[in-house]
Amino acid sequence: MEESDKQLMEAVRTLLRITRILQRVCDEKGFSLQQYRMLTWIDHNEVTRPYTLAEQAAVSRPAVAALIAGLEKKKLIRRESVAKDGRGVHLKSTRKTKKVIRELELAMVASLKALFGDSVDAISVLGSSHQFEELLDKQLLKDIEKGKPGN
């Protein structure tokens, strides 16, 4: 294995550990990390259909149906019929959605600050570049179009 591959593997392990911490934060607030990801996706995208959500989250359609049902039960999303498509439905956020997202994100930030302490800048760099986010989003959309959605 090349040195650059070893470094990438270490980065993967670090990201997985951070993900576990963020999942725990969501769990403590009564949500899963997937539900958080879905809420933010729905809240930030004007038109969201369940199959788009399944592709974005890299989960099966039955799994996304269960996640959607849970979010509807909590009154965090609502379905709107698509006028031109009798069976089509768009998922929309509710007034409560932004509040819940903010609470989850504040708890995640607090958890990461506690974890990284004075080194919090080391991870802040991931969110400091809109260009980095755009590259990730473009790759995700490209993968979805090819039929191999990423996480």
Give the model confidence (pLDDT) of 106-120 as tens digits: 999 999 888 888 777
| pTM of the entire predicted model | 0.76
Give the model confidence (pLDDT) of 4-29 as tens digits: 888 889 888 988 898 999 999 999 99
Helix H or strand E segment including 142: helix 130-145
| Side-chain-facing half-sphere of 52: CA atoms under 13 Å | 12
Give me the mean pLDDT over the 20-47 stretch: 89
Question: How does residue 97 score in pLDDT terms, banded at 50, 70 and 90?
Answer: very high
Phi, psi dihedrals of residue 77, rounded to the nearest 5°: -140, 160
Domains of the chain (ranges plus CATH)? 3-118 (1.10.10.10)
> Cα–Cα distances in Å, from 136 out to 2, 11, 12, 99, 129?
24, 16, 15, 26, 11
**Distance in Å from the first CA to the final CA of the chain:** 25
CB distance 43 to 68 below 8 Å? no
Torsion of CA 31, 32, 38, 44, to 10 degrees: 60
Query: For all residues of the chain together, what is the average pLDDT?
Result: 83
* Sign of the dihedral defined by the CA atoms of residues 101, 106, 111, 117, in that order: positive
The beta strand positions in 8-142, using DSSP E, are 77-82, 85-93
> Cα–Cα distances in Å, from 129 out to 14, 102, 125, 134?
20, 20, 7, 9
